[in-house]
Chain A
Amino acid sequence: MITVEITTIMGIKALMGGNKDQSLTLSDGATVAEALDQLCKTYGLPLHERIFNDAQQLNPGIVVFVNGCVIFALDGLETPLQDGDAVLIFPPVGGG
């Protein structure tokens, strides 16, 4: 088993019980998709609908970073996770 650290902000945080940070235990070799699935099982349909579209791809504007690197620059939802990885999940954000 591996444990990864999940961090979320704003609207996604609100759908995860207001928890900004939490640890998530996964099976060895788990991917980003599996981590998100597990979170959706815990927090229910509203979170699932916020993150995934009907094709089980990320909704537009949802961004996930693993150890600081956006998963689009890795293997997307199939990016494998290692024990201790930091996973950051963003709702659509812009401005600045």
Chain B
Amino acid sequence: MFQGGYMGKVLRVNLTTKKVSVEDLPEKIARDYIGGAGFGVKYLFDEVPGDVDSLGPDNKLIFAPGPLSGTPAPCASRMAVTTKSPLTGAVGMSLSGGYFPVELKFAGYDVLIIEGQADTPVYLHIRDDKVAIKNAEKLWGMDTQITQSIIKQDVNDHNTRIACIGQAGENLSKMAAIINERRAFGRKGVGAVMGSKNLKAIAIRGSGQVPLANPKAFETARKFMLEAMKQSPVLYPEFSKLGTPMVVDATSAMGIFPSENYRNTGERDYSTTIGVEASISRNKGSEHCYGCPVGCTQLKLAQGRGYEGGMSDPEYETYYSLGSVVGVESVDSIIYNDMLCDKYGLDTMSVGVTIAFAMELFERGMLTAADTNGLDLRFGNHQAVTQLIEEIAFRREGIGALLCDGSRIMAEKVGGEAGDFAMHIKGLELPAYDPRGAKAHGLNFATSYTGADHNRGYAFQEVFGIPVPNAYDRFAVAGKGWLTKWNQDIRCATTDCPTMCGFLMDMAVPAIAEQNTADLVSSASGIALTKEDVGMVGERVNNLARVFNISAGFTRADDTFPKRIMAETIKEGGSSGQRISQEDLNLMLDEYYEARNWRQDGVPTRQKLAELDLPEAAAVLVARGLL
């Protein structure tokens, strides 16, 4: 019986049998995995075989907020959805914020597991202990914003919180997102898994509260966190006023803001056209997630012919994916196209990078107007980006069908040398940092359990120069294996599991993140965790996810970079002369595996799995003849 933090219940919904059941959350799982991504990876590992068809009925969607979600802890309305990704074939874990995450807790649950496949479109309606699978045939074909609006009318409750898919998820685009309000479980094609289950939406309204085991100790920990936030040099006023778009100026100056499918990173200064000054000129206010005093989300209204009326809240990554990487320098088109992606339920990052890939093939003559439905796909053509987003969302014949499953599948379809220009790792398109100029940040892309995912081990030491735990030269190779392990484990343990906004960890408590998590989670839940316990949770989740990926067929050979990153040198700008050679990669990987106590083939050792109390992972490796 939990004293607080946790609601103690797992809600399981089988869409094939229509069976709804409630199980107790085992205390050992809470202690060993904390929540969020930890719960997701644990339940995925236990219940979904690595070789399962990601769009078949045996894949599952595991939604899990953390023990801090719904408590007065700041910035803890976060939720992980975990599944086998149709885009990568690896663990697909994506986090979102807003108001949806806490509502599941208020309804009385720590985890929601969706399994099976409905015959016809349905949506799930949760009102505390009343759970109904409802007909969604009339919603099928609608976009994410209209869907949320109609469901609120349908259930006669405008405070119901909803996560849903748009047309992209219905059409099984492997870049489809799940949208809640205007926020997104954006990456790894989680929306396609929802679409494959004929599940249009999940609507939740809860009336409960999250109890606290030790309110006095919790209040002390909370006040400490709030004070650390006030002392942060970044959060107020800069971050709360400017949000993530300010990073465009920083990475541009560092020469790592990728340009035109990474072919000319550093050669154009995008900060003058789509940097913070340009983007702030479109500001109409900010939005907060539940319980967040910062409010970094910046609402922007587009201007100018063709884009007027477009309103969205593009983050830093989108200034890259719908901006620099497709050679676009129109902030209005970025705002408008971001809005379109949210509307149709698409990951802006994978969509933009896949379009950039198509643009490069077009300019090289490897795609022609006959392949592009007549679109002129030269870099910088923002009207073509707008058109392509629709083609992708509706999986339209021709260019839409070619692009809608992401870069890796597109490269296979085009064939020949096309794959040399596809910017993905394990099938997940690269985030907005050229890894050649930030080596640990890059090594995290290469080794993250979800593919090229900056949020699984953000190297703030390199990108923002923060000297925690030590200062690092971003161009150096030595030491980056150790640092990447540190970043991945601490990020997982202190943000992805509890669950808490990652920006706070970076900007408010980087040096004491594990202790901060231990204090908050222990006082909320009554489960006594030390900072060492917290650190071990991050390591446990990363190891278990690694073994899931091994069972899905991944090996050391998949921990790599796109060819361009290894073959071409950045020619100009703040990272001029940088590349990552095969030798550099080998050195970093060897060091990373050693730091993790994995074998040099990337398989965790028996000793490490025993230390982390993961006999189930060892058993999987033994069964595959790897231990």
A contacts, CB < 8 Å to B? 7, 9-11, 20, 59-65, 68-70, 72-73, 86, 88, 90-96
Residues of B within 8 A of A91 (CB): 238
* Contact partner, B475, options A61, A68, A92, Cβ 8 Å: A68
B contacts, CB < 8 Å to A? 231-235, 238-239, 243-244, 246-247, 249-251, 253-255, 271, 276, 296, 315-317, 432-433, 437, 454, 458, 460-461, 463-467, 470-475, 503, 506-507, 574-575
30 residue pairs A–B, Cβ–Cβ below 8 Å: A7-B253, A7-B574, A9-B250, A9-B271, A10-B249, A11-B238, A60-B233, A61-B233, A61-B234, A65-B254, A65-B465, A68-B474, A68-B475, A68-B575, A69-B473, A70-B465, A70-B471, A72-B471, A73-B467, A90-B250, A93-B234, A93-B238, A93-B246, A94-B239, A94-B460, A95-B243, A95-B244, A95-B316, A95-B503, A96-B458
Residues of B within 8 A of A7 (CB): 253, 574
Residues of A within 8 A of B232 (CB): 61
* Contact partner, B253, options A9, A62, A69, A95, Cβ 8 Å: A9
* Contact partner, B467, options A10, A11, A70, A93, Cβ 8 Å: A70
CA–CA, A17 and B276, complex, Å: 17
- Nearest chain B CB to A84 CB, angstrom units: 12
With A68-B575, A69-B473, A69-B475 as contacts: A94 and B271 at CB distance below 8 Å: no
* Total A-B contacts with CB atoms under 8 angstroms apart: 100
A-B contact sample (7 more), CB < 8 A, given A65-B254, A73-B470, A95-B246: A10-B276, A59-B233, A65-B574, A73-B471, A94-B503, A95-B243, A96-B247
Residues of A within 8 A of B315 (CB): 95
- Nearest chain A CB to B488 CB, angstrom units: 16
Residues of A within 8 A of B437 (CB): 68
A72 and B467 contacting across the interface, CB-CB below 8 Å? yes
CA–CA, A92 and B473, complex, Å: 18
With A86-B574, A94-B503, A96-B244 as contacts: A70 and B473 at CB distance below 8 Å: yes
With A9-B271, A91-B238 as contacts: A63 and B464 at CB distance below 8 Å: yes
CA–CA, A58 and B227, complex, Å: 21
- Nearest chain A CB to B466 CB, angstrom units: 8
Nearest-neighbor residue (CB-CB) of A70 within chain B: B465
CA–CA, A63 and B253, complex, Å: 13
CA–CA, A63 and B433, complex, Å: 19
Residues of B within 8 A of A59 (CB): 233
- Nearest chain A CB to B482 CB, angstrom units: 15
CA–CA, A68 and B253, complex, Å: 10
Nearest-neighbor residue (CB-CB) of B475 within chain A: A68
B463 and A96 contacting across the interface, CB-CB below 8 Å? yes
Residues of A within 8 A of B470 (CB): 73
Residues of B within 8 A of A73 (CB): 467, 470-473
Residues of B within 8 A of A90 (CB): 250, 253, 464-465
Residues of A within 8 A of B503 (CB): 94-95
CA–CA, A90 and B460, complex, Å: 14
With A10-B246, A60-B233 as contacts: A93 and B574 at CB distance below 8 Å: no
